[in-house]
Amino acid sequence: MMRKPLIAGNWKLNKTINESQQLSRQLLESLGTVSNREIVIAPVFTALNAVSEIIKSSSILLAAQNCYPATTGAFTGELSPLFLQDAGCQYVIIGHSERRQLLHETNAFINQKLIGVIQAGLKPILCIGETLQQREDGQMLEILGQQIKEGLVDLTTDQMATVVIAYEPIWAIGTGKTASSEQAQEAHAYIRSLLQEIFNSSVAEQTRILYGGSVKPDNIDTLMAQTDIDGALVGGASLKAEDFVRIVRFL
């Protein structure tokens, strides 16, 4: 089965509304009609609606960088998947390592978000990854296994059809270090084997697994040549139109 490549740009805490609109227009000009791969951008919450208006009739899709696992209620400062959908989102990034580390999000909490996103009719991009210490201690597969198993608890095989997984080795995020293509492929193949174990071979075959961690125009081609890498979750390089366009147009 051919999995459609997915390239997602996580803008993190960057770009005002005006700057987000400007970048969106640049991307629309270069990528608005690309159909052989899925393109997703994730601006800050305040820019979601403005960006949505610019890209709504194009092939570029909108993602939120986070959500809260409730629909409505007394949750000051939070946004539910329902409100993100209302702002024009199709995807939500869940469990990014920055939130796991800085805000101490647990696998159980991330699982609640994942289920909330799916129930709202949106698609989650579930981020997983190990620290440098965990890798050096030989714990990489154990950590990835735990994040996958606990993050996907109670999901049905039907629900898994909407889930995208992003493998981001924490030691490679924003550091300029990138996992080698072989290291990335090893992790991706392991994740796919886990999905087969937890669900079935069909789920394992259809689930897209992205690589994230210092993805740049000069390493995207070798990463995308790997059997089990189905796309990329791009950080810093997604903030420059020229760089992101080149990544989307990988060979």
Q: Which residues fall in the annotated binding site?
A: 10-12, 174, 214, 235-236
Q: One of 98, 130, 168, 188 is an active-site residue; which one?
A: 168
| 70/112 Cα distance (integer angstroms) | 9
Any catalytic annotation for residue 96? yes
What's the Cα-to-Cα distance from 230 to each of 122, 192, 209, 220, 248, rounded to whole Å?
20, 11, 5, 11, 12
Q: One of 96, 105, 130, 188 is an active-site residue; which one?
A: 96
Any catalytic annotation for residue 188? no
> Torsion angle, CA of 156/101/222/3, rounded to 10 degrees?
10
Rounded to 5 degrees, φ, ψ at 31 are: -125, 0
Binding residues for substrate: 10-12, 174, 214, 235-236
| 146/43 Cα distance (integer angstroms) | 29
| Spatial CB neighbours of 28, under 8 Å, sequence gap ≥ 6 | 54, 55, 58, 60
Catalytic residues: 96, 168
